[in-house]
Structure 1
């Protein structure tokens, strides 16, 4: 039996879309880490200082 020709132009479209989404999420996460990194570091340092003061060290 003869089968109709398949449209091969859209075979990798889904994979490309997922790759683009992954790249966009990665760039957004990296930007957030760069912007909020120092503040998060200061927060952890303050917590550590409070714990040291409470333990008497």
Structure 2
């Protein structure tokens, strides 16, 4: 059992995959955090733009 455990600890196959998975997970968590923070602000900017454009539309007079 001791030999199996030593072999398992020394075996480095798959470590790069695990490292890439951890890095990817951290990047995804960071993106979700950033987009969650600024998402509402972006929505407000486009809503204000829409309100401003609606206010500038002129209705053509009826003939």
Aligned to 1:45: 47
C-alpha RMSD over aligned residues: 1.8
Alignment partners' CA distance in 2, 1:29 and 1:52: 33
Alignment partners' CA distance in 1, 2:24 and 2:45: 29
Give CA-to-partner distance per residue, 1:32-52, whole Å, 9 cap, x none.
Answer: 122112111101101111222
Q: Give the TM-score, by structure 2 length.
A: 0.65
Please, which runs of 5 or more residues in structure 2 have no aligned partner?
1-9
Larger radius of gyration: 2
* 1:19 equivalent in alignment to 2:21: yes
Aligned length: 50
Please, which runs of 5 or more residues in structure 1 have no aligned partner?
1-7
Aligned to 1:34: 36
